[in-house]
Amino acid sequence: MRSNRKAFLDWHIRPRMLRDITNRDLSVSLFGHTYPAPFLLAPLGIQGVIHPDAELGTARAASKMRIPFTLSTVSSRSIEQVAETMGSSPRWFQLFWPNDLDIMKSLVHRAENAGYSAIVLTVDTRAGFGWRPRSIRNNFYPFLQGEGMANFLSDPVFRVKLKQPPEQNMYAAISLFLQIIWNPGLTWEQIPILRNLTKLPVLIKGILHPEDARLAMGLGMDGIVVSNHGGRQLDGEIATLDALPKIIDAVEGRIPVLFDGGIREGVDVLKTIALGATAVLLGRPYIYGLAVAGERGVTQVIRNMMGDIDISLANAGEKSIAEINRSLLVPADVECEY
Ligand SMILES: Cc1cc2nc3c(=O)[nH]c(=O)nc-3n(C[C@H](O)[C@H](O)[C@H](O)COP(=O)(O)O)c2cc1C
């Protein structure tokens, strides 16, 4: 997590002066949709443990600002509840591919039917959560209390597999959930199953190696998300910003490359996009907003981020997110040469 942040210090912005920056455009286009800013809300599971508004608070804030919200598979509110709250506002669904194919298909179909416009398959958690000493010390494992299971408790296919409904036997539901949620046997060979299942754009989240980016493209993925799960899965792994340039080179502009990990300020967004990403996902910042003030807190985080990106873009001498490129940046250690 610290490496993700630190990597931003390796790049400096070299601004241009006296260009007209009166009318600025923060919008980005992705899969045929135009969004008002170059960031989305990342999938963060089990939001009910942090605020009673849970994902519905996040969803309302995202709707108000027309920022896409990516709903996690392990959410505290269901696919349909979030969709109802969001109306026509943009939303994506993040898939943890359970080791039960019927349930996986059911989740994807429900997301399609409920108006989600992309599927984001997260692949860095197949074997389980990373070794998280603080979670272990604090006995923080919300699934054991049935938290984060809204999409399963409401899933017709999941329910059929239970002898008694969860309302009568929650223990059995938790037990089945824990048997199916991890999927260490999921490999590239199975990706065509998902590709053929839906017409929605499919992205793979958790890519850090250019070769994996090539494999994803070769299997018809519509996009990738360069991510290390915010540093929560494998301590000491490569910072996402350090992984980005080689992946951008491997992809050669053929599909959008999204990015997350350590985005905290407008300048972080500018640097990431200058290095070739199309858009970024925001994780912890909005969940801190939710923790402090529910929907209002998330709205404020989104507003602040939009304001920060806008003024930083202007101060960099640029007027459009779509137009910035690597020429905006210099490596921090060789800056003195310029
Ligand atoms: C509390 C928490 C829960 C998360 N839950 C999920 C999840 O359910 N699915 C997923 O794909 N990623 C999950 N992530 C990873 C985020 O989607 C994202 O990759 C990461 O938070 C980005 O880094 P940042 O927090 O530094 O912005 C979670 C991250 C956090 C901090």
Domains of the chain: 2-337 (3.20.20.70)
Per-residue pLDDT tens digits of the chain, which is 338 residues long = 999 999 999 999 999 999 999 999 999 999 999 999 999 999 999 999 999 999 999 999 999 999 999 999 999 999 999 999 999 999 999 999 999 999 999 999 999 999 999 999 999 999 999 999 999 999 999 999 999 999 999 999 999 999 999 999 999 999 999 999 999 999 999 999 999 999 999 999 999 999 999 999 999 999 999 999 999 999 999 999 999 999 999 999 999 999 999 999 999 999 999 999 999 999 999 999 999 999 999 999 999 999 999 999 999 999 999 999 999 999 998 655 54
Cα–Cα distance for residue pair 146/214, rounded to 1 Å: 38
Return the structure tokens found at 308.
Answer: 């920060």
CA-derived radius of gyration, the chain? 20
Ligand 1 centre from 71 Cα, in Å? Answer: 11
Q: In one letter, which amino acid is 48?
A: G
User: What length is written for the chain?
Assistant: 338
Ligand 1 centre from 260 Cα, in Å? Answer: 9
The pLDDT of residue 334 is 66
Cα–Cα distance for residue pair 198/296, rounded to 1 Å: 34
Cα–Cα distance for residue pair 40/261, rounded to 1 Å: 13
Ligand 1 — pocket residues by CB below 6 A?
4, 42-45, 72, 74, 94, 122, 205, 227, 229-230, 232, 260-263, 282-284, 287
Cα–Cα distance for residue pair 141/147, rounded to 1 Å: 9
The pLDDT of residue 338 is 47
pTM of the model: 0.98
Cα–Cα distance for residue pair 256/240, rounded to 1 Å: 16
Residue 301, SS3? helix
